[in-house]
Amino acid sequence: MLNYIKNNDIILGLISAIFFSTFIYLSYFGISFKLINTLLAISALGLFLYIPKKAILVAGFFIGIFWFYWVGYSFKYNGVGWMLPIVIFTFGLFYSLLFGLLALTKEVYIRAVLLFLISFIEPFSWNWMQIELIFIDSYIGILKYQLVIVLLALSLPNYINQKYKFIPLLLIILALDINYKPQQEAPIKIKLIQTDVKQNEKWLPQNQLTQVLNNIKYIEKAIDANYDLVVLPESTFPLFMNKYPSLYERLTLLSKKISIVAGALYRENNLNYNVSYLFQNGDVKIAKKLVLVPFGEYIPLPKFARKFINDTFFASQPDFVPAKKPTDFMIKGVKFRNAICYEATTQDIYVGEVKYVLAMSNNAWFTPSIEPTLQKLLMRYYSKKNHITIYHSANTAGTGIIR
């Protein structure tokens, strides 16, 4: 049986992909086994260094599918749901080619270098494939130097005499996560709201008033419970809020009793923005989204290609416009960095002096799937990497404090 597996590239590649992805699916079911995750993550990297070239291509293909099969779910809301299998196959093919860089050589140390370099690649600014993320629920740290140590420990046995062959594996001890310190929570009372609005109902005009009234109820309940701040999800108000003065006035009045952060849209000079609104003490501050979702909120291609894709797949909807810099909210004397969905999983939003982040998402685009789980794991990754506490409010799934 072992010989059959060893000589079958498809099975070897599939096993490698499973080892590389298991931590996501365990987390999806609320299971956390640090030892198992540690062994599987180390084994996955070891397999990448030693398996045959064809097996690497197979592994990359299945990794792309296991991690990102859900991306195409959103296409059905634009009337092109038939593209789902094409999107899934495209992700598989792309990551087969990306990890296929390792198949250019059989030399273990070169593969280790290439694997480390791959950890820096973010195609079209899509950064949800973080190789170090496989260690987020393990005993290994998630920093680059710890990845280098693991790759070094796995590579050296190939170049050492049989008697001492596995001694380099002891180097992995140097990659253990032993300096972890839990982040502090903000010194104010925060209510995080999780809504449950289906994506195919969210933007229907006849549902707009219901969602607005429900949001008002959430805020009033938070006031009754004596919270200092209430945070609602991304686009929880499904409208261009600056075009609704009566709603503005209502939230402004409520903000004299509680600080309110809520997602909505904003239109200025015929340009559309995905924003967070802060209503506080009768005043309003707007935070425009800094990092847009590639192929979701903007098309990272030349103008002629953008127009074709928007006309063909997105009902001619114009791209959103990004902010020029991150936005901080000062709430009850505490500074919070604002992050809207994808932003909370990018390093750009953590630049500068940041201790607390208010994040909001609309995960209805992709549920049910592993997307909210992968998003949470990535936020844990950035929270740990930057020593930051994240307060996350989401529609359908993902709400909670991330430390």
Q: Phi-psi region for residue 79, left (φ > 0), alpha (ψ -120 to 50) or beta?
A: left
pLDDT digits 0-9 by tens, 134-178: 999 999 999 999 999 999 999 999 999 888 899 999 999 999 998
CA dist., res. 403 & res. 399, Å (int): 13
Residue 307 has pLDDT above 70, yes or no: no
Domains and CATH numbers, the chain: 2-175 (no CATH), 190-402 (3.60.110.10)
CA dist., res. 294 & res. 147, Å (int): 27
Across the strands, what pairs with 207?
A: none
Q: Phi-psi region for residue 129, left (φ > 0), alpha (ψ -120 to 50) or beta?
A: beta
CA dist., res. 177 & res. 124, Å (int): 31
Question: Amino acid letter at 219?
Answer: I
Q: pTM of the prediction?
A: 0.94
CA dist., res. 64 & res. 163, Å (int): 38
Residue 403 has pLDDT above 90, yes or no: no
> Which positions are annotated as active-site residues?
234, 289, 341
pLDDT digits 0-9 by tens, 362-385: 999 999 999 999 999 999 999 999
CA dist., res. 237 & res. 397, Å (int): 17
